[in-house]
Amino acid sequence: MADEPGAGRARAAAEMATLSAAREATRLPVDMVFTWVDGDDPRHQAKRRAFGEGRGSGASAGAPPAPERWYRSVGEITAGVRSVVRHLPWVRTVFVVTDEQRPPVDAELIASGRVRVVDHAEIVPEAYRPVFASTVIESFLHRIPGLSEVWLYDNDDLLHFAPASPGLFLEDLPEGGAALVLRAYLAAVRRALAAGAALMPPPVPRANPYTMGVANAYRLLRGRVGVPWNKVLVPRHVTQVYRRSTALRLEEEFADVLHATRSLRFRSREQVSWGTLAYTMERRWHPEDHVEPWRPLDRSGELDFFDFLHCRAAGSCERRWAAVEASRAPLACLNNVPSFERERFWKAMKRHGLGDPLDETLTEQPSRGGWEAP
C-alpha cells in the first residue's frame, strides 16, 4: 500500500537527513560510474555491422548478432541516475560512459556537474575503438579523468529503491583508511559450468561468453598467479566497488592479457573477465577487504533481483511489476525489461518517486565529427 502523502514526505526527509550525515562522515570521496548505450540508435547499429557483427564468431571475423536485449533500453539510465542522486547523496559525481551518444539524463544534473557524460574516446585508446562489449569497456573505466580512488559501478539496469549507506561498500579500519566490501561468488562455479558444457554432445549449447570469460580468468589466475581455487572471485551483478590503484596495477601486471581481450570488440568466448581479475587481485593485494559471499536465500533485504526474460507480452508480468513497486532494496536489478514494457516500467518508477521519462527528443543524436556510418 502506498504511503499517505504526509507520511511519505516525513520519511523521505528523515532518510535525506540520515544520508546527509553519512555523506559528511564519509572520509573518502566516492564516485559512481554507469555504462550505457542506446541500441536502437541506427548509427550505433550500423557501426556494429561495419565492424563485423554478424560475420561469424571468430576474433577476426567479428561476432554473431547480439541478442536484442543486450542493447535495448526503456529509460533505465534516467531512473538509475535519479536513484543515485536521491538515495546515495554522499556519492560525489555520477559518470555516464557512452559511445558518441547523448544519454537521457536530466539536463539540470549535467549542468550542475553532479552528472558528467564521458565518451569512449576519452578513456579507450583508438586501437581498441569502437568497442561493443561491456566486459571490455569496464576495463577502462578507471581512466575517467578525475575519478575517485574508490568508485562504484552500476550497469544501466541497476537502481536504488532505498537509501544505500557508504557502509554497504566500505568498512572503516581501526588504523585509518577503508576496506572494500566485495559482493562476490566463486569463479569455480562458472568454471564447472563451462567444463560441463564442453563435455556435452553438439546439440547442447556451449557456455556463453560471460561464463567462458570467467572460466578463462579462473585458469589464468590459478596458473599464472597461483590463486587457490576458492579465492578466485566473480563480482555479483549488483553495484560493484573498485579501487583505481588496483585497476592501474592490473594494467601493468596483466598487460598482455588485457591487450588480447580488449582487442576483441564484441563479447567473445576468448575474452578474460576483467571483473574476475579485479575482484580476485583486489582481495589478494588488500587482504583487509571483506568478501560478502553469495547466498541462495539472501534475506538481508539489501538486494532484489527481477528478471523479465520470459515476459512475452504487455501485462504478462504484472505480479513481477507489483514486486518491483513494493521493493525497498537499496540495491536492485531489473534485468531484461522488454521494450513493450516501457510504460509499465515508468509507472513503477513513479511509485518510487523517480519521476517521468525524459522527452524523447533528448535522446536524438547531435551532429558531430568522427565516425560516420558507411
CB 36 within 8 A of CB 97: yes
| Residue 348: all three cell numbers together | 513503477
pTM, 2 dp: 0.85
Task: Using alpha carbons only, give the angle 173, 175, 178 rounded to the nearest 5 degrees.
Answer: 30
Class level of CATH domain 27-363: alpha beta
**Confidence label for 31 from pLDDT (cuts 50, 70 and 90):** very high
Which pLDDT value is given to residue 333?
96
| pLDDT given for residue 3 in this prediction | 44
pLDDT at 59: 41
Residue 127: which residues within 8 A CB-CB, separation 6 or more? Answer: 263
Per DSSP bridges, beta strands 233-235 and 178-186 are antiparallel
Higher pLDDT, 143 or 373: 143
Question: In the chain, what's the furthest Cα-to-Cα distance?
Answer: 62
pLDDT tens digits, 288-338 = 999 999 877 777 789 999 999 889 888 899 999 999 999 999 999 999 999
The rounded mean pLDDT for the chain is 85
- Mean pLDDT for 184-193 is 88
* CA contacts within 13 A on the Cβ side of 140: 25
| Cell output for 86 | 536521491
CA distance 34 to 117: 10
Residue 355, pLDDT score: 95
Pick from 25-34, 64-73, 164-173: least confident: 64-73
| Closest to 17 in 3D by CA, of 5, 27, 6, 9 | 9
313 near 338, Cβ under 8 Å? no
Highest mean pLDDT pick, 17-21, 49-53, 242-246, 361-365: 242-246
Q: Which residue has the higher pLDDT, 341 or 369?
A: 341
Give the pLDDT band (50/70/90) at residue 67.
low
What are the boundaries of each domain within the chain?
Answer: 27-363
